[in-house]
Amino acid sequence: MAQMKELANKIESAYSIVVLTGAGVSTASGIPDFRSSQGVWTYDRSREYYMSSEYFYKDPVDFWAKYKDIFRLKLLKNYEPNSVHTFLRNLELSGKQVSIITQNVDGLHATAGNEDIIEYHGNLNTATCPHCQSKYALEYVMKHETPYCDKTGCGDVLKPDIVLFGDPITKHEEAEQRIRQSELVLVMGTSLLVTPFNILPDYAAFTCGLPMAIMNREATPKDYLFDFVIHDDLVGVVKHLSAWM
């Protein structure tokens, strides 16, 4: 508890905060954690192949069937931000500059009201035509078993706006820029197993020399980098932090 109170003081005294978030932030909203020791990918590694750019171009019809099932798209609009999202929004409302760099593709940080969000792995709420770059909302995607571009003369199968396995990461430099501009880095709800997202804490520690805290239910391979290490349920963690701020 002493560490938690010290961290609360650190957060309260900082103006510019970068928060790196992962699936553990959204589990209280009912969204599965894909990367924990109990996560979806742990039990079926073939899903990584089916959710790859290679498989999308090989068999886009079957890709969409599996994609909608794995990411539970029918339920996406039923999910709401939880107290962890609200905690981060409240930091912003208190006058702090809060930048969120998230692995999550559910869009819940935006729904909660945070304004500066880097969706490192994209977003489930839209899809784009690879040919003409027309963008479509989730409502359109869900109306069609396999969503095609409806623009005249096009008709390509839409590609979801998430980073599939094999796709390039386009947000890394932007994420590093936010870290350089911050006073404090919080890492919440991520196992830090996915590259290159998991090298962002190294950048913050070794290049920028920033104070950092990690809050995750389980230990991670990067815990040694952090000044504060808290292994607990995030809902309980933010409740305690809020009480001391």
List, as one string, the DSSP characters of 65-129: HHHHHHTTGGGGGG----HHHHHHHHHHHTT-EEEEEE---S-HHHHHT-SEEEETTEEEEEEE-
Same domain, 214 and 152: no
Indicate which CATH number applies to the domain containing 149. 3.30.1600.10
What's the total number of domains in the chain? 2
Query: H/E element holding 17?
Result: strand 16-21
**Whole domain around residue 155: which residue ranges?**
33-78+126-162
Q: What is the pLDDT of residue 34?
A: 54
Mean pLDDT, the chain, integer: 91
Q: Could you tell me if 42 and 25 lie in one domain?
A: no
pLDDT band at 57, cuts 50/70/90?
very high
- Among residues 121, 144, 231, 240, which one is catalytic? 121
* Domain membership flag for residue 221: yes
Are residues 177 and 147 part of one domain? Answer: no
Q: Is 149 annotated as a binding residue?
A: yes
Q: Report residue 152's pLDDT band, with 50, 70 and 90 as the boundaries.
A: confident
The answer to whether residues 68 and 181 belong to one domain is: no
| 10-30 tens-digit pLDDT | 999 999 999 999 999 998 888
Residues 113 and 222 in one domain: yes
pLDDT for 159-185, tens place per residue?
999 999 999 999 999 999 999 999 999
Residue 44 pLDDT more than 60?
Answer: no
**Predicted confidence (pLDDT) at residue 42 exceeds the cutoff of 70:** no
Does residue 14 fall inside a structural domain? yes
154 is in an annotated binding site: yes
Q: 235 lies in a domain?
A: yes
Q: Which of 162, 185, 216 is the last residue of a domain?
A: 162
63/109 same-domain check: no
Residue type present at position 15:
Y
In this structure, are 16 and 106 located in the same domain?
Answer: yes
Asked if 225 and 152 sit in the same domain, the reply is no
Summarize pLDDT for 105-136 with one digit per residue, the tens. Answer: 999 999 999 999 999 999 999 999 999 999 99
In a domain, 212, yes or no: yes
Statement to judge: residues 52 and 95 lie in one domain: no
Q: Do 71 and 138 belong to one domain?
A: yes
CB proximity list for 7: less than 8 A, separation 6 or greater: 213, 228, 230, 241
DSSP strand pairing (228-231 vs 212-216): parallel
Q: Are residues 44 and 114 in the same domain?
A: no
In a domain, 60, yes or no: yes
129 is in an annotated binding site: yes
Q: Answer whether residue 167 is part of any domain.
A: no
Answer yes or no: 240 catalytic.
no
In a domain, 209, yes or no: yes
**CATH number of the domain where residue 209 is located:** 3.40.50.1220
Residues 37 and 66 occupy one common structural domain? yes
SS3 163: coil
